[in-house]
Structure 1
Amino acid sequence: MSSAVSGPLRQVLGKAAQLGGAALGTLQHTRIPGVGQASTTEPADVAARRWRAVTVFRDDLAGPFPELEALGPDLEVRMQPAPGGRGTELYGRFHGSPTEDQVGELRAALRRTKQLAEVGEVLRVDPQPHGRRTPTPQGAALEGAAAQAPKEGVL
Structure 2
Amino acid sequence: MKRALATAAALVGAGVAVRRLRSRTAGSGPEPNRWLTVTVNRPPERFGELPAPLARLADHVEIRTAPAPGGKGTELAARLRESTAGGTLERLTGDDPRQRVRQALREAKSLIETGEIFQADAPATARRTPGGKLVALATRRAGGEGRL
Letter in 2 for 1:77: I
- 1:74 is displaced (CA, Å) by 2.3
Q: 1:138 aligns with which of 99, 115, 131?
A: 131
Hey, what does 2:40 align to over in structure 1?
Answer: 56
TM-score for the superposition, normalised by structure 2: 0.68
Q: Secondary structure at the match of 1:112?
A: helix
Structure 2, unpaired ranges of 5+:
87-95
TM-score for the superposition, normalised by structure 1: 0.66
- 1:98 is displaced (CA, Å) by 3.0
Q: 1:98 aligns with which of 80, 84, 89?
A: 84
- 1:28 is displaced (CA, Å) by 8.0
Hey, what does 2:113 align to over in structure 1?
Answer: 118
- 1:126 is displaced (CA, Å) by 2.5
Structure 1, unpaired ranges of 5+:
1-7, 32-36
- Give the whole-Å Cα distance in 2 for the aligned partners of 1:26 and 1:63: 43
| Cα pair 1:107 1:152 within 8 Å, conserved | yes
Hey, what does 2:75 align to over in structure 1?
Answer: 89
Summarize the Cα distance change of 1:75–1:121 in structure 2 as closer, same or farther, 3 Å threshold.
same
Hey, what does 1:109 align to over in structure 2?
Answer: 104
- Give the whole-Å Cα distance in 1 for the aligned partners of 2:22 and 2:56: 28
Map residues 2-81 of structure 1 onto 2, 5 A cutoff. Answer: 19=14, 41-42=28-29, 47-59=31-43, 60-81=46-67
Summarize the Cα distance change of 1:49–1:141 in structure 2 as closer, same or farther, 3 Å threshold.
same
- Give the whole-Å Cα distance in 1 for the aligned partners of 2:132 and 2:116: 26
Q: Secondary structure at the match of 1:50?
A: coil
| Cα pair 1:112 1:122 within 8 Å, conserved | yes
Q: Secondary structure at the match of 1:90?
A: strand
Q: 2:146 aligns with which of 143, 146, 153?
A: 153
Aligned residues: 128
Q: Secondary structure at the match of 2:62?
A: strand
Instruction: Give the CA RMSD over aligned residues.
Output: 3.4
| Cα pair 1:108 1:153 within 8 Å, conserved | no
Q: Secondary structure at the match of 1:152?
A: coil
- Give the whole-Å Cα distance in 2 for the aligned partners of 1:116 and 1:96: 26
- 1:41 is displaced (CA, Å) by 2.9
